[in-house]
Amino acid sequence: MAMMNMREAIVEALREEIARDPSVILFGEDIGKFGGVFGTTKGLHAEFGDRRIFDTPIAEKTIIGAALGMAITGMRPVPELQFGDFAGLAFDEIYNKLGKWKWMHGGDMRVPVTVRLPIGIAGGAGPEHSQSPQALFVSGPGLYIAVPSNAADAKGMLKTSIREDNPVLFFEHKVLYTQKCEVPEGDHIVPLGKGNLCRKGADLTIIATATLVGTAIEAATALAGDGIDVEVIDPRWLKPLDEDLILSSIAKTGRVLLVHEDAKTGGTGSEIAAIIAEKALFDLRAPIRRLAGPDVPIAQSLHLEQFYRPSRDEIIAAARDLIRFR
């Protein structure tokens, strides 16, 4: 095990996969000699050269279209869009091409594309550089959705994604780039569709993603002081979703709180809530509760943007409300 932050873990995963497989190729805006605006490809260009990692114009639709062409001709492209917010500029190529190409061609074609997408509130970047748009793509047929919450998972999930023969959208929260944890050395893999039971509990299930996994664990620790035993789940993959992990937890606790940074309406928690309502309704002892970003644009102000992300205290208050419900 080695202590590293998520930025370093991503660089390590990319380095290992480029070295392991000659078909892996990286490209995007400023990811070559510069090493990426967030440093997640730092040093790779010097090590592997222009044929394995190179810069592109600011043209998101073209980046994804080129990745599709490379994939169906035998490469394993890993394009990066500088901000996940700009996935909208490539929506047709992602939603209608990457996800559906295999099925529009008789199911015979592989489309091994991993699209890296930095997301989330960080540093007063404002309404067009701070969003978490992963929920927009959950309904996309043929697309897998990865959302790591720590450095170890980022390494293992990125390696899994690159080796996958179907397209993966890999969402990386910018705040997590500097957060450290122990990361397994060597060929660390997190299985596709396998969630993580972060903390066991008996009274309430909290399902959180990205930075809010850590916040949920902090809230659960505080609630334990009041005798409330909270289970915390990180789905890791929004698609395919680890339904068994979620449903087995709710069968035990009977209460669930869904916590995410993206907007509440149509957000990450909506589909999970629908699955719970369909498959575990009679296990519930309280209504399904969602705690998420408000349905307004994210503020430019450093002070105001913090009110958009659910806080530890808000999670604690929502958890207590659910426990009190009779």
Residues classed as catalytic: 129
Closest CA to 120 of 176, 78, 161: 176
Q: Which two tokens stand for residue 31?
A: 């990811």
Quick one: tokens of 312? Answer: 């530890």
Amino acid occupying residue 135? A
| Peptide bond just before 240 cis, omega within 30 deg | yes
- Backbone torsions φ then ψ of 232, nearest 5 degrees: -120, 125
d(CA 77, CA 67): 6
CA distance 138 to 299: 25
End-to-end CA distance of the chain: 46
Cα–Cα distance for residue pair 140/137, rounded to 1 Å: 5
Place of tokens 């002070």: 303
**C-alpha torsion sign, points 156, 221, 241, 72:** negative
The size of the chain, in residues, is 326
